[in-house]
Structure 1
Amino acid sequence: MKRPELLLPVGTRDMLEAAIQNGADAVYYGVPHWNARGRTEDFSFEDVEEMIRYARVRGVRTFLAMNILVFEREIRDLPEFLEKLIALKPDAFIIQDIGLARLIKAIAPDQEIHASTQMTLASAEAVNFASQLGFNRAVLARELSLKQIASIKEATPLELEVFVHGALCVSYSGQCLTSENFGGRSANRGQCAQSCRLPYRIFVDGKEYRDTNAQYLFSPHDLCALPRLNDLEEIGIDSLKVEGRLKSPEYVAAVAKAYKKSLDTHDKLPATDMEPLEVLFSRGLSTGWLDGVDHQALVDGTFSNHHGEYLGEVSRIERDSITVSTPDGGVTALPRQGDGILFENPKNGLSLGSRLYGVIERNGKLMLQFGRNFELRKVAPGMKAYRNDSPALEKELQHTFADREKSRRIPVDIVLSGKIGEPLRLTMFDDADHKISVESDIAVEASRDTAESANGKKRDFRELAEKELSALGSTAYAPHSLDIRVPANAFVPGKVLRGLRQKATAAMDDSRMSMAASAPDAARGRALLAHASTHKQAQNAHTPATISVLVRRPNQIEALRGLDIDSAIMDFDWGVKYDEPLEQIRELGLKAGMATLRIHKPGENHYLKNILRLAPDFALVRSLGALAILRGSGIPLHGDYSLNAANSLSYEWLLDQGLQTLHPSWDLNSTQLFDLLGNIDAGRLELALHQYMPAFHSEYCAFARALTDGRRFPECGKICTQHKVEILDHKGEKHFLQSDAECRNTLFVGKPQSALKLFPRLTAAGVNHFRIELLDESPEIARRKIQTYVAAIRGNISIDAAIAQAGVEEKYGLSEGQLFNESVWVDRKKATDPKNKPV
């Protein structure tokens, strides 16, 4: 079997050294200003160049993460920035944005690019479809099981990368709008506020549901795939990815060390290797979705922060100690003096802790001793105890990358040759067939010195040469063998030997750095952007607006009778048949459309086959996998917001794949939307004027976790079909929880978003496709809402009057969402030199 690459995260220079010195085969870090971890340190171009060199010399590949959506005004300023960045010769870019991928390949056709997990690639069809953009590798969605990953691997020639360790998002990456909707900070722009880690209250059929411990309903355990590493290797996964650019160097060192050892030995790791994985940072470790769906195991629900290693339950409190009964199997390692100990009672929300003074282990129990300043009386029997910090452990891990004596070095064979009267030649070979030779500037002389050194021995050239040439401690190399082929009576000054050594190691660095030049050219990127703009069409102000209504309940269809609309899109829940509703819509004289699911996974083609069987008048496409399968079917296709089109290059490519219209990403505000409209055919853009914004879109079922003991369907008893569930957030606002046809959950923001205020400007810009989306409204309320919007679109009432009327119908009011949010979130970190930023 081919050993998979071990890919580690880097957020600081110390993390780079921690990763490389502990076994990373590749590292990834963010492009200055343009990456999905907005809170990491912004490196300068000089930093990026030096870090690439440091890694490549040591045989480690470097991937630059540029995995965010790029807006129209930004992408037009990027060609020169990318030319400069590509010239630094990174091994690959990690990309989310389709337009950005096209731009990079235009500027440097040979540049390797990887499709980020933010592209939501969860099936072989999606991976192969994305490969048309020139991707060399796909980073798969984290919600896949081993069986599903294996099926994708069998069906694609692309390299595959899988997350194996670190934080798990409860929502599909690239499909989460929670942070943006709740806090104005887009996860698709590197500004995730981790809304999933906040506490939520659950309301069932209008009443608060208290019979659950799941206060942190959307906060999953952290991923640890060590128990499944052999399986991933057997499948043939090319790269194993660790999450954690915001973690510490010690964390990176510990994870790299553990995974490298597991890959090398294929054995279960001892407690000493597992200990730091829990203590340094964890919210509890699990195999995530690799073993399939288990809603109860994925989310604990009682906490969301770092807890560390679970020690057990408090069984006794004495005057100066607390006794903890450890779980079966004990703890991974005995706590040490100075470690941080956390005591918690989730039911009462009580949490307190202190530094450990001493510990005694006896008969499956730990007697923990603390200093006098810790009030032991606040701890009660039954509280859970954790070890969540260890200065001693961190210090040990620091030595793995800060101690030069322990540095990971490349073995080299050294040959020094020369004759009297000729220059010295130093030749160096490494284990990867790199060979360099350098010569001295002076000739070798015969020694005339017969004096003895201080220890009574005659000065020996060989001894001097061995000493000078073996002194590689400040380099990436270590001598494997040293062959000196110089006459014994030779004389060469020590500084000449030192100079040769330095020239040789620098030459070896250059040799190991060498790779084919990509010859980036910004002009090719500008030409691509100019071509995309040629699709802009002259606007016809007399083109009537087309109106579609998305229904999520079959009983909402009758509410459309007689309304001045053009089509209805069906987007039904689990188990709802489409045959009769489709004919009902046609009987109303409307075009009948069917929406695909937002996610396409192995084994889920039956839903798309149903669309092909029923042959609706059109399909609303929500994933690349669905587009790959439905393209060429003869069914007219329209693209939805989940395809994340944010710039003209993305628009051009997606429309060229067979879409008639395309809804823009909801990451765009109104200014960015009109920037986009200035460079595309506005007549092929569709915009929802009214909809409940999706926040989380998750494989995890909050219904099953909170309301049942079921791990998966059908153990859950289809609880989602029996109750209306609302989620109360930290700001006191309620949101609607809904399931879909594959048991996935979407949390819809309680206040629907209205874009009516933009309608006059949109029509003036040439937009004439508009959508109204329903959720679970009764037919009566649904009809009144639609009538209001239709009247405004047709010019029968004013926009202001329509907004006022629409707001009356909403349970929690009406919102403008992020469309009119012009603020830009800026972190308080040290900024990069502005000359290195594209904007």
Structure 2
Amino acid sequence: MISATTSPELLLPVGTREMLEAAVKNGADAVYFGVPHWNARGRTEDFTFDDVRDMIRYARIRGVRTFLAMNVLVFERELWELPEFLEKIISLEPDAFIIQDIGLARLIRAIAPQQEIHASTQMTLASAEGVNLVKSIGFNRAVLARELSVKEIAAIKGGTDLELEVFIHGALCVSYSGQCLTSENFGGRSANRGQCAQSCRLPYRIFVDGKEFRDTDAQYLFSTRDLCALPKLDELEEIGVNSLKVEGRLKSPEYVAAVSRAYRKALNQIPLDSKDMEPLEVLFSRGLNTGWLDGDNHQELVNGTFSNHHGMALGQVAKTDRGQIIVALDESVGSTYPQPGDGILFENAALGVSIGSRLYAAQVTHLPHPKRGEPKYLRMEFGRDFDTRQIAVGMQVYRNDSPALERELRKTFTDRNLEERIPVNMVLSGKIGEPLKLTMSDGLHHSAEVVAETPLEAARNSENRSKNEADKALHDLAQKELSGLSATAYQLKHLDIQVDRGAFIPGKVLRTLRQNAAEKLDEIRCQWKVLSPKADDGKAFLESTRAKFKSGASTSGTTFASATPVTDAKHPIISVLVRNPDQIAALKGLDIDRVIMDFDWGVKYDESLQQIRDFGFKAGMATLRIHKPGESHYLKNILRLCPDFALVRNLGALSILKESGIPLTGDYSLNAANSASYDWLLSQGLSTLHPSWDLNSTQLFDLLENIDGQRLELTLHQYMPAFHSEYCAFARALTTGRRFPECGKICTKHKVEILDHKGERHFLQSDAECRNTLFVGKPQSALKLLPKLNAAGVNHYRLEMLTEDAETVRRKVVIYTQAIRGKITIEDAIREAGIQEKYGLSEGQLFNESTWQDRKK
């Protein structure tokens, strides 16, 4: 184990036991891996409880902390089955849990109040206000959203005393974690349930104003490069970030070893060279950059020409010559040339040509009559089965595999002779006639003392040896036997012998003492705080939450009447969300109750607010889905205008608005999936709350059995949001602008649709902070559930518009309101609603009863 000398914790991913050893032996301060059956990387190895116990013990002996990732949403029926499971897993003594679900966090706190919990990046925490709000739940640390710049991270650090964790290396998600419904909508596999289908890595075609846009190289429009924060480490350390996290539980042990070594070296202020960077690119890379840490740069964040591992860029093909290929090397290659056996990839992205082969031989060379400043050239030879005629001048060349490099990295966690161990001091003491004692200490106030089973005897031939000979013989024997620690985490640093002269000590006794001392020191280093988890306390917590809902006392003092009047199920409250002011006029005279404004950048709310009130409706304003430092102006606008209510979409906005006196309602983006989450969110001042869109109808009605249906709002019609991203696909594909205003606000000038691999079109929209949302082109309707929802006491329904003109808005709203009011049948409403849709109507995730299974398992 390489000890850390700097303050930030280096946190590495673990998907297998080998990855654990690779991380620990190459400098990790902490590791994280999935809870059995429950984690956000459904394709990783599913450890047993015994595996988890052994891994925690292995790491703790070596001074490395272990975090168990349980960062998924938990449905109602699952929540009630969890107390015994959680008691068992907490008893294994992990250092912390990484949690997304608020209800799960509260349940863990009820079962073991002293258990450390970390708020996952899946909670979409991007401001100090949001971080401080979840602190009240009992979280000890917040894992920040990956879309933050160093400047924004510093602002958050200055506004909270909670520990902060930041991603520094690995794959980036194009969508905000916890806000991505693409995998579920496109593939039936929820990213919030550990089953991301990586829809962002697929090719898409772009249509602008109805015509395909071909003047772009961004076929893989949403496939981000990989993050490498090595250039930003000093700044993150100066800010005071507590933990630096590497992504990659699906990567290889060799990858973990390479990343651990490079970042450990950098954190220890040892200059990196090309040999440190080489494996970071060769083993797995889609191209490295600093992500959002330097702020928005939409051109750099997404290459657009590929989505898979490409490795290290070598250069371009300069010439093909009699079975050989000559490559003009990029300056960045330095001296890290490919070796025989390496994988080489040739690519022409514009033509969709990608060809790979193993390298047979390579030699640095020069073309005849080289000119000053020309690049170095590499002459490559391949096996006879590789047809070099496929390779054309100008093709890009990458090195994307290296067996030799992997072998070297593998030695770092398999070769015992290379392993750095914990230095220990030993004191061997004893008097003739008394038991021999061995004390082993690690210099960190951990000390183990063991005693031999039999008294120490005098040597029979001691009189024949001189004093020096006897001392040397004893020292040599003790040094030999007591230093044999290769099977442990320790190495002997200093040995002090305090044994009577003339004593006889068999080697077997010394070996037994050494083994017992090492085992005892292991136990001492593994000692953990007493948590005493109790499943019964968790069950009592869940029962009390359900009882509060049934008695109408939920929300811890927040009265429902202060926000939105309770109505009986005979007259449900109908809200319509509009996305441009022109849609409002279409609502005049309709049988609805509320209108929610969700406008784009620069659109005024004042006149629209009054117009809605003049029509006799309650006027609401929606917050954005993300709240970042310096982005409170839209919240200040809500406070200034004092709408009749506000639709809250993120925890930062909830923190700011909860004491405003403005009635609040919560949106699906708060990811409430169970009654314990509902109870806490409602207690923060929300009158009603929309459930997470991860729930299907069965899970929704399970939830309704344990909450008050009048506190739940459900959208009966909407275009489902897929990606919600800081990255602007408009700017990347249609301009050369890195960020606003270089993009010329292109999103306001054109209608853009995205065609997926299934031939379905989807709508790309921007919000008031230039963030993009990809809306599924076929809207979801929950009309079939209406009778059962009414029976469950639900009486808040929402209809969401997108880009429809006023006439279409009116037709849609009329159909749905007539169905809700019981004036037309559900069947007629569904038929009429489907006619209105350009790409048809979908029942969506609410009617998906399938459970995705990984075939690898």
For the aligned pair, the TM-score class normalised by the smaller chain equals over 0.9
**How far 1:505 moved relative to its partner?**
0.4
In the TM superposition, 1:125-164 aligns within 5 A as 125-164=129-168
Match of 2:273 in 1: 270
Number of residue pairs matched by the alignment: 826
Tell me how far 1:492 sits from its aligned partner.
2.2
Q: Secondary structure at the match of 2:268?
A: helix
Q: Is 2:652 aligned against 1:625?
A: yes
Verify: 1:445 aligned to 2:472, yes or no.
no
- CA contact under 8 A between 1:462 and 1:488: conserved in structure 2? no
Structure 1 residues 821, 804: closer, same or farther in 2, change over 3 A? Answer: same
Letter of the structure 2 residue corresponding to residue 546 of structure 1: I
1:12 to 12, 16, 22: 16
Query: Could you say which residue in structure 1 is the equivalent of 2:583?
Result: 556
Q: For 1:77, what is the secondary structure of its paired residue?
A: helix
Report the alpha carbon displacement of residue 484 of structure 1 after superposing the two structures with TM. 1.1
SS in 1 for 2:548: coil
1:354 paired residue number: 357
Aligned-pair CA distance for 1:460: 2.7
Distance 2:709 2:463 in 1: 90
* Superposition deviation, residue 543 in structure 1: 4.1
SS in 2 for 1:535: helix
Distance (Å, rounded) in 1 between the aligned partners of 2:682 and 2:304: 42
**What amino acid is aligned across from residue 321 of structure 2 in structure 1?**
E
1:537: Cα distance to partner? 4.0
Question: 2:509 corresponds to which residue?
Answer: 496
CA contact (8 A) 2:569 2:793 kept: no
Shift of 1:805: 0.2
Amino acid paired to 1:296: Q
Distance (Å, rounded) in 1 between the aligned partners of 2:697 and 2:810: 28
Shift of 1:820: 0.8
Aligned twin of 1:706: 733
User: What's the CA shift for 1:535?
Assistant: 3.2
Select the residue among 446, 457, 464 that pairs with 2:477.
Answer: 464
Please say if 1:229 is aligned against 2:260: no
Look up the match of 2:45: 41
Where does residue 294 of structure 1 map in the other structure? 297
Q: Structure 1 residue 361: deviation in Å?
A: 1.2
Contact 1:600–1:626 under 8 Å retained in 2? yes
Q: 1:470 to 1:266 in 2, by over 3 A?
A: closer
Q: Give the match for residue 835 of structure 1.
A: none
Distance 2:245 2:304 in 1: 26
Instruction: Please tell me whether the aligned partners of residues 460 and 488 of structure 1 are also in contact (alpha carbons under 8 angstroms).
Output: no
Aligned-partner Cα distance in 1 for 2:550–2:637: 36
* Contiguous gaps of at least 5 residues in structure 1: 831-839
Match of 2:689 in 1: 662
Aligned mates of 1:2, 1:138 — CA distance in 2: 21
The alignment partner of 1:368 has SS state of strand
Does residue 308 (structure 1) correspond to residue 311 (structure 2)? The answer is yes
Please state how far the C-alpha of 1:542 moved relative to its aligned partner: 4.5
Among 392, 397, 400, the alignment partner of 1:385 is 397
Cα deviation digits, residues 673-700 of structure 1 (max 9, x gap):
0000000011100000000000000000
Map of 2:286 onto structure 1 = 283
1:374 aligns with 2:401: no
1:436 counterpart = 2:440: no
Q: Which amino acid aligns with 1:4?
A: P
Aligned to 1:530: 543
Per the alignment, residue 110 of structure 1 pairs with 114
CA RMSD in angstroms comes to 1.4
**SS at 2:842 equivalent:** coil
The CA distance in 2 between the partners of 1:582 and 1:609, in whole Å, is: 15
Match of 2:609 in 1: 582
Contact 1:550 1:568 survives alignment (8 Å): yes
Give the SS at the match of 1:81: helix
The residue number in structure 2 matching 1:643 is: 670
Q: Which residue of 1 aligns with 2:186?
A: 182
Counterpart contact for 1:535–1:681, Cα < 8 Å: no
Where does residue 365 of structure 1 map in the other structure?
A: 377
Give the aligned partner of residue 745 of structure 1: 772
The percentage of aligned residue pairs carrying the same residue is: 70
Tell me how far apart the structure 2 counterparts of residues 432 and 310 of structure 1 sit (CA, whole Å): 46
Task: Name stretches of at least 5 consecutive residues in structure 2 with no aligned partner.
Answer: 367-375, 553-566
- CA distance in 2 between counterparts of 1:543 and 1:469 reads 83
CA distance in 2, matches of 1:451, 1:814: 101
Residue 341 of structure 2 is matched in structure 1 by 338
Q: 1:487 aligns to what?
A: 500
Take 2:721 and 2:476, find their aligned partners in 1: how far apart are those partners? Answer: 73
Pick from 52, 58, 61 the counterpart of residue 54 of structure 1.
58
2:520 to 507, 511, 519: 507
Task: State the match for 2:198 in structure 1.
Answer: 194
Amino acid in structure 1 at the alignment position of 2:13: P
| Aligned-pair CA distance for 1:450 | 6.8
Normalized against structure 1, the TM-score is what? 0.97
Amino acid at match of 1:507: K
Aligned partners of 1:179 and 1:192 also within 8 Å: yes
Provide the residue aligned with 2:373 in structure 1: none
Q: 74-83 or 514-523: which moved more?
A: 514-523
Query: Partner residue of 1:780?
Result: 807
Q: Is the 8 A contact 2:154 2:239 kept in 1?
A: yes
Asked whether 1:324 is paired with 2:327, we answer yes
For the 8 Å contact 1:414–1:427, the answer to whether it is kept is yes
Q: Is residue 345–residue 354 contact of structure 2 (8 Å, CA) maintained in 1?
A: yes
Residue of structure 1 in register with 2:426 after alignment: 414
- Cα distance in 2 between the residues matched to 1:321 and 1:622: 59
Q: Is the 8 Å Cα contact of residues 462 and 502 (structure 2) preserved in structure 1?
A: no
CA drift of 1:461 comes to 3.0
Instruction: Pick one of 704, 710, 728 that aligns with 2:755.
Output: 728
C-alpha displacement at 1:326, in angstroms? 1.4
| Distance 1:332-1:636 versus aligned 2 partners, 3 A rule | farther
Structure 1 residue 452: Cα displacement: 11
Q: For residues 580 and 321 of structure 1, do their structure 2 counterparts lie closer, same or farther at Cα, with a shift above 3 Å needed?
A: same
Aligned partners of 1:343, 1:829: CA distance in 2, in Å? 30
What CA distance in whole angstroms lies between the structure 2 residues aligned with 1:409 and 1:38? 34
**Correspondence 1:226-265 to 2 at 5 A:** 226-265=230-269
Once residues 622 and 361 of structure 1 are traced to their aligned partners in structure 2, the CA distance between those partners, rounded to angstroms, is 57
Query: In the TM superposition, what is the alpha-carbon distance from 1:2 to its structure 2 partner?
Result: 5.8
- Correspondence for 1:834: none
Q: Which amino acid aligns with 1:548?
A: S
